[in-house]
Structure 1
């Protein structure tokens, strides 16, 4: 199938945590014979901080972040068998979802792919005129980055015809164990951009343990933290490119995952970083969220913390040998059950199932 995918960026992870998710799934779909066309705006300096060159498995179009630039790519939706609008493109999101779905062929499969479903649902509950909510009757299928049954039920209640979670995963060709790098040497490292709906949790789960353990070393990577007051034992690294993720994960004694507020509240939403760290056989400490057992077993494959004190306790008790055991167990589980090869197979089956149902493209009232 020819897939027109409108997303934030395939080429850059700069202020764009979904990049490796898109790459992992779309590369697998290309390997299964699908023709991938990815459209991303030239916005937020992402093109100046590319992680990869345009891949041979997708045709990537970078368009100006202007009204004219948007118009130049929306018409290409009419040539696709599958039209995908992802959440969080960052510019002209409302115009983009309406424009590409209305331009799609009558027999094309229309998909909204939500990489922050809990937040999108909160916005739709607060605004009955929300652009995504208004377009749901014209959208065939909602795919989500995670969220489990709570997100599926909520989307159906909002009027979605169908909603299916497609979870983050590991690409073992890009994330794997490497030798330690002294640039990332520390006891606990956290990688994530500074965002309003994450900052308070980072203060609790990362900065509080740093204050409680002044003799231990901490490292934060990601954009926006340079102006944040931190304990003296915390170093700030700035943006960490995808090519550096393996060393970032392999070098510290442990790495920390901190969910954004909405994802922590709804659960069943492991961040990309969880699988990247597991793929590198890192010892992962994560804040507690419902559904973690679906992905990694607490105390065997991951350490789970209810608050900053728990993080400090885990770190104080952690030995290099114990950290290696946890990391190796996490890698084995992830390689077996949470690879992008499996996610790609899942999406391929979804496309064949729903794209092949002629009745699925009929108006909603006719399908009732």
Structure 2
């Protein structure tokens, strides 16, 4: 039996899910690593917007510690970073570029990057934005883990200079995300922080259907939406919904909407954590279209792919109840077979061990 791994993760957020999708992604992954017997220290920058909204201050599946600044990080945790079997820096970490240089200078045994925003990262680098990653730093990593798969992996290696690029999709914790028996409250719902490039799709796939179906009920949950959005009267707004409330939220929807950021749609192979969470709750999903989605969840069998407002309207009005339930159950079956946190943790540990074996 292989020795458990000692892993240090420096990520955007674990303690708070407010306004970010990183926390739930890390929680499922780290729970999976814990279930596989590995030890994880998660180091999170202490920032006021997360401090005011911490919904998991003391996780049971890992050691969580906060740091105030980079000198404090080096002083307090340098020894653990140097001794760990692997150190993983996540995307969007505050002062990420400086942090990467600091950790690289400590010469960790294995140094990896986990990009939970790969298409966005590539677009930012093309624009010259190097806040959390600089192009010269990509070759520093032994493995560049990407939440996007497909062609971006080849791009990372051949164009960006990554030593090794591997997919590490988001995942779901099935102990937390499961179907709850409840009468549907909404015909269609959406869970997500406001993003300007997602808003046109939300307008076309939820707000416009709400206008055309005034007798149906809709809901949008998430922070950051501008005050000037003209919400129809039959669209309920929930400012923030913590992860503990997500399963009940999904279970009260007849359909849930998945909306993908523009850069991720263009690149494809970028399933969001919300996609897997909704599927785990057996809630039928209506999603925008992108390359690779149909291979994760087959169109018409485990997901509805919408290309127009009319597609959404047709699903809401014309889908028979047995067919609607079958969509949700098929999606849940596929996610439980391939996209749980434990499976993802196993994939990560296997990749780290392979890299170590290759280096010896």
TM-score, normalized by length of structure 2?
0.91
Does the 8 A contact of 1:79 with 1:104 survive in 2? no
Pick the aligned partner of 2:104 from 98, 101, 107.
101
- Render the CA deviation track for 1:78-109: whole Å, top value 9, x for unaligned: 232211110012x212211221122233xx11
5 Å-filtered alignment, 1:273-284, equals: 273-284=274-285
**Greater Cα offset, 34-43 or 307-316:** 307-316
Match of 1:40 among 37, 44, 48: 44
In structure 1, distance between residues paired with 2:128 and 2:167: 23
1:231-310 superposed matches below 5 A: 231-310=232-311
Match of 2:189 in 1: 189
Q: In the aligned structure 2, how far is the partner of 1:96 from the partner of 1:74?
A: 13
Cα distance in 2, alignment partners of residues 283 and 234 from structure 1: 19
The alignment's C-alpha RMSD in Å is 2.0
Give, in whole Å, the separation in 2 of the partners of 1:44 and 1:284.
34
Deviations 1:220-260 (A, max 9, x none): 00111262322222110111110110111011111110011
- Superposition pairs of residues 215-234 of structure 1, within 5 angstroms: 215-225=215-225, 227=227, 228-234=229-235
3-state SS, counterpart of residue 39 of structure 1: strand
- Cα 1:163/1:329, change in 2 over 3 Å: same
Distance 1:208 1:99 in 2: 49
Aligned residues: 352
Partner of 1:365: none
Contact kept, 8 Å, 1:83 with 1:101, in 2: the verdict is no
1:87 paired to 2:94: no
3-state SS of 1:253 partner: strand
Q: Which residue of 2 aligns with 1:364?
A: none
Per the alignment, in what secondary structure is the counterpart of residue 357 of structure 1?
A: helix
Distance 1:319 1:240, change over 3 A: farther
- Residues 286 and 305, structure 1, Cα contact 8 Å, conserved in 2: yes
* 1:212 positional shift: 2.6
1:135 equivalent among 134, 137, 141: 137
Gaps of 5+ in 2: none
2:20 equivalent to 1:19: no
1:319: Cα distance to partner?
3.7
| Shift of residue 215, structure 1, vs aligned partner | 2.3
TM-score by length of 1: 0.89
Structure 1's 28 and 67: CA in aligned 2 closer, same or farther, altered over 3 A?
closer
Question: After superposition, what is the alpha-carbon deviation per residue over 1:306-328, rounded to whole angstroms, capped at 9, x for unaligned?
Answer: 12332122212134333212111
Deviation at 1:210, TM superposition (A): 1.9
